[in-house]
Amino acid sequence: MLKKAPWLPCLTALNLLFSPPVFANPHSADDLIGTWATQGYGAQVLITPCGNAQEQVCGHITWLWTDRDVEGRLLRDEQNPTARHRDRPLVGIPIFRNFTRNGDGYWQGDGIYNPEDGNTYAASLKPHADGTLNVTGCVLGIFCQTQVWRRPQSVCPASLPLTPRK
């Protein structure tokens, strides 16, 4: 006959106490909202709720490492397939919209726009517990490339707000 271990209820209670809730939402929109530095730190993208739809997120470029050409002119969305958009500055353009969370913790939407070639690719966003964001773009759903984005504060301390010395 098996003996009941006296420590088992205590171990079970500790396990329940320190385990994450099973039904918690580990990747809510709050995990995405805010500014992200792209891989290579060439740009920053601000992710916000799309209009009044709190369950959808959109992203637009807010900063570029190099936002001007060699002659000092603002870089423009010259590769855009829509002629009327080709003269707009790259800073401020939307690069993705209407991304919603699916059951696997991924966010998917209308695709991600690449201003370097003017194409929009199928894409997904996947936030991670370590504070990174995987951004994956795909062609034909087969050929995919993933970038790891980070919060600018974790990349460059100079992007932190200044605080007065005491």
Give residue 91's pLDDT.
Answer: 96
Give residue 75's pLDDT.
Answer: 95
Distance CA 125, CA 148 (A): 10
Helices (H), 5-155: 8-18, 152-155
Q: What is the pLDDT of residues 16-72, one digit of tens each?
A: 333 333 333 445 667 889 999 999 999 999 999 997 777 899 999 999 999 999 999
Identify the three-state secondary structure at position 7: coil
Residue 106 clears pLDDT 60, i.e. is over it:
yes
Give residue 64's pLDDT.
Answer: 94
Q: What is the pLDDT of residues 141-166, one digit of tens each?
A: 889 999 999 999 865 555 555 555 55
Residue given tokens 């396990």 in the structure block: 15
Residue 3 in any domain: the answer is no
Phi, psi of 96 (to 5 degrees): -155, 160
pLDDT-wise least confident of 23-37, 70-84, 110-124, 137-151: 23-37
Residue 15 in any domain: the answer is no
Q: Give the distance, in angstroms, between the CA of residue 68 and the centroid of all CA atoms in the same chain.
A: 25
* Cα-based torsion angle of the residue sequence 25, 27, 29, 30 in order, rounded to the nearest 10 degrees: 90
Residue 107 clears pLDDT 50, i.e. is over it:
yes
Give residue 51's pLDDT.
Answer: 79
Give residue 55's pLDDT.
Answer: 85
Residue 148 in any domain: the answer is yes
User: In which domain, by residue range, is 114 found?
Assistant: 26-154
Concatenating the DSSP letter of every residue in 58-97 gives EEEEEEES--B-TTSPBPB-TT-SSGGGTTSBSTT-EEEE
Residue 65 in any domain: the answer is yes
Please give the mean pLDDT across all residues of the chain.
81
Residue 79 in any domain: the answer is yes
Question: Beta partners for 145?
Answer: 137
Residue 40 in any domain: the answer is yes
Residue 38's nearest CA partner among 90, 99, 106 is 90
The predicted model scores a pTM of 0.74
Number of structural domains (the chain) is 1
Residue 130 in any domain: the answer is yes
Q: What CATH number corresponds to the domain at position 38?
A: 2.40.128.520
